[in-house]
Amino acid sequence: MPMYSSPGIYVEEVSGGSRPIESVGTSTAGFVGTAPDQNARRGEAVAVNSWSEFLRVFVGDSQQGTPLSRAIYGFFDNGGGRCYVVNIAPGEPLAGKGRQRSGLRLLEAIDEIAVVAAPGYTDALSYEDLLAHCELMGDRMAILDGPEQVGDVERLTRAGASGLPKPKRAEGDPAPQAAEENAGLRPRQSDYGTFYVPWLVVRDALSGDVVGTPPSGHVAGVWARSDTLRGVHKAPANEPVRGAVDLTYRVTKVEQDILNPAGVNCIRHFPAEGIRIWGARTLAASGSEWRYLNVRRLFNMLKESIGDGTRWIVFEPNDNLLWRSIRRDISAFLTRVWRDGALQGRTPQEAFFVKCDEETNPAEVRDAGEVVTLIGVAPVKPAEFVIFKISQSAGTGGEQAGA
């Protein structure tokens, strides 16, 4: 307490005790691939905030685009605002060699990255490297490109999207059976990955040629645009793909009926609407609670935001005052998330709960130096299947059609 020595009026600043939790960014992307200038800024992850900055750093005098350069152009063209670029040599593994810190490993130290892609890397080992990276980090999603060849997309459909990466065969093992012909087309199941087909037809920003290009960069830009306009809780689908003039393969509704339940997101062409992303599934199992992309990304945001916003808790006295502060701060944050439309429920009480008290923190938990908080939220699910039930009416007084 301050000492008062003379009569007068004293005004003091008193902390309200509240520590607001801010939402973390959800659209910063990390790209790994070969740039037009293959020797530019090798061995580092470079922050890029515009297409002109990418031109200055990674293109030089080259007039020939690469899958990476076309992905970066598509990212910014579709609404992306910031990304990190790792330039690797042609044929270099995404995860680097041995103890070499390159490729995806350079992205591990950058906390703000929420989306990872390697444009044009469609082999089984690259799929595994991307998924393993995102599963290790636990705060980002991988966008995987489907096969380039039209025949592979057709085989993917015929296989029911059930093909998994081919295992390595030891010398002397029997040759693979005919049933393995479709293996390697679809990545394995993962809660932290998405998979898009087919490739896009775009005009290369460097050469001016019309070429096929992997969709991951454009898709990452669409995610960023949707996050900005609607929020991370909105499924980034039914969105136009800017810069795409055609598709290398036009997926039909019958084919998507097979691919969608298996977590393969299709990019479709519609006569009136043009080219749109027409799927928002992850590579999780069809019955998993993480099968919807927006739900997975929303929880990634909630986890990281709460973790960053409550770091002040560490080493605080583990008592009722701390528990009340935790409940207050997290509840205030989730209330804002609910008001943004990300959680279901007519009231905050229906949308989430935060429990941190004597029940979650008994004596043995406190003795172990732990403070335990239980948080439950009800995320909004996308209206993936819109069903109208229509019946005939004998007259104006008959049964009405319902929706």
| pLDDT tens per residue, range 130-173 | 999 999 999 999 999 998 876 777 777 666 555 444 433 333 33
Determine, yes or no, domain membership for 402. Answer: yes
C-alpha dihedral sign at 186, 192, 198, 204: negative
Whether 302 maps to a domain, the answer reads no
Residue finishing a domain among 251, 267, 295: 295
**Domain co-membership, 109 together with 189:** yes
Identify the pLDDT of residue 15. 61
- Contact (CB, 8 A) for 22 and 330: no
Residues 104 and 220 in one domain: yes
Domain boundary among 242, 260, 295: 295
Residues 132 and 275 in one domain: yes
pLDDT of residue 253 exceeding 90: yes
- What is the pLDDT, as a whole number, of residue 176? 36
In this structure, the answer to whether residues 325 and 257 fall within a common structural domain is no
CA distance 124 to 401: 49
207-248: pLDDT as tens digits: 999 999 999 999 999 999 999 999 999 999 999 999 999 999
SS3 195: strand
At 281, phi and psi to the nearest 5? -105, 155
What does 124-182 look like in DSSP terms, one character per residue? Answer: HHHHHHHHHHHHHHSS-EEEEE--SSHHHHHHHHHTTT---PPPPPPTTPPPPPGGGGG
Q: What is the pTM of this model?
A: 0.87
User: In the beta sheet, which residues pair with residue 352?
Assistant: 377
- Whether 313 and 322 have beta carbons less than 8 Å apart is answered as yes
Nearest to 141 by CA among 191, 76, 68: 191
Q: How far apart are CA 377 and CA 284, in angstroms?
A: 20
Domain span including residue 319:
312-403
Q: Which tens digit of pLDDT belongs to each residue from 20-63? A: 899 999 999 999 999 999 999 998 999 999 999 999 999 988 88
Residues 349 and 273 in one domain: no
Beta bridge partners of 142: 116, 193
Indicate whether 291 and 394 sit together in one domain: no
Identity of residue 382: P
Contact at 8 Å (CB) between 188 and 128?
yes
Instruction: Estimate to the nearest angstrom the gap between the alpha carbon of 11 and the chain centroid.
Output: 49
What would the mean pLDDT of 334-348 be, rounded to a whole number? 95
| Same domain, residue pair 283 and 167 | yes
- Are residues 365 and 218 both part of a single domain? no
Number of structural domains (the chain) is 2
The answer to whether residues 269 and 330 belong to one domain is: no
Q: Under the phi-then-psi rule, with left for phi > 0, alpha for psi from -120 to 50, and beta for the rest, what region is 228? A: alpha
Which residues make Cβ contacts (< 8 Å) with residue 187, sequence separation at least 6? 124, 127, 128, 131, 144, 164, 165, 193, 195, 283
Residue burial 279-316, b: 16+ Cβ < 10 Å; e: rest: bbbbbbeeeeebbbbbbbbbbbbbebbbeebbeeeeee
Asked, for residue 9, whether it belongs to a domain, the answer is no
